[in-house]
Amino acid sequence: MIEYSEKERRMVLKLVYYGPALSGKTTNLLQLHDLLTRQGRGELMVLDTTGDRTIYFDLLPFFLTAPSGLKIKVKAYTVPGQVCHDATRKAVLQRADGVVFVADSNPAETQSNFASFDNLERNLELVGLDIENIPLVIQFNKRDLPQVIPEGEIRGTWDPTGIPVVMASALNGAGVAQTFGILAGLVYDRIDARYQLLQGHGLTREQFVQQLTSLKEEP
């Protein structure tokens, strides 16, 4: 958690999109920005890029107010996927409340997925977070590719771990809001008890998730 102030009645949460280079982390945020209603959502901030590759991070902020008046800001970040930007990844990962791991469904990228997940595990430890406890959703992106790792194989690998897995095609918007919604729910579960979201602030899980993921009404 970035910030919690009882006096100011403010809570700032951080969600991070992690994953190998070119797996579609920024595309996820772009699609969220386009899919979700303007209400309570800030503008997508894409920090300088070189040739469409993230070098620092992207930020999509959300803002909602609990019935009690508690202001909750949720900031969704992407990290740069390229191996060389590890210091930036660590900086962005600091105090994260939840992580989406965007994996590439291309079978040729299996090794990169492994390496990046390994990197996530190590960096979480370095910034004092525990991969066993942090809310984590795995998104297998690029399901629209002609050749993908079969879903059965993916489920066989990940279902035993209890980590939710979402099949997505971020480019077409498929699975993007679902991924974000699942993570929001997990984050709510994790912080509710401690911060009394329901008891003290009257904010239900459904409200929290719904406010973060309400889709634009089709014009």
CA distance 171 to 162: 27
**108 DSSP 8-state letter:** G
User: Binding of another protein at residue 88 (CB under 8 A)?
Assistant: yes
How far CA 174 is from CA of 9, 44, 72, 138, 169, in Å, comes to 35, 19, 27, 14, 5
User: Binding of another protein at residue 61 (CB under 8 A)?
Assistant: yes
Beta strands 71-78 and 45-46, pairing class: unpaired
- For another protein, the closer CB: 94 or 110: 94
User: Binding of another protein at residue 47 (CB under 8 A)?
Assistant: yes
Is the torsion defined by CA of 119, 121, 122, 126 positive or negative? positive
How far CA 55 is from CA of 40, 98, 156, 182, in Å, comes to 27, 21, 34, 27
- For another protein, the closer CB: 44 or 171: 44
- For another protein, the closer CB: 10 or 216: 10
Region of 82-90, 99-107, 176-184, 191-199 interacting with another protein (CB under 8 A): 82-90
User: Binding of another protein at residue 145 (CB under 8 A)?
Assistant: no
Q: According to CB under 8 A, which residues from 95 to 134 bind another protein?
A: 95
User: Binding of another protein at residue 63 (CB under 8 A)?
Assistant: yes
- For another protein, the closer CB: 77 or 188: 77
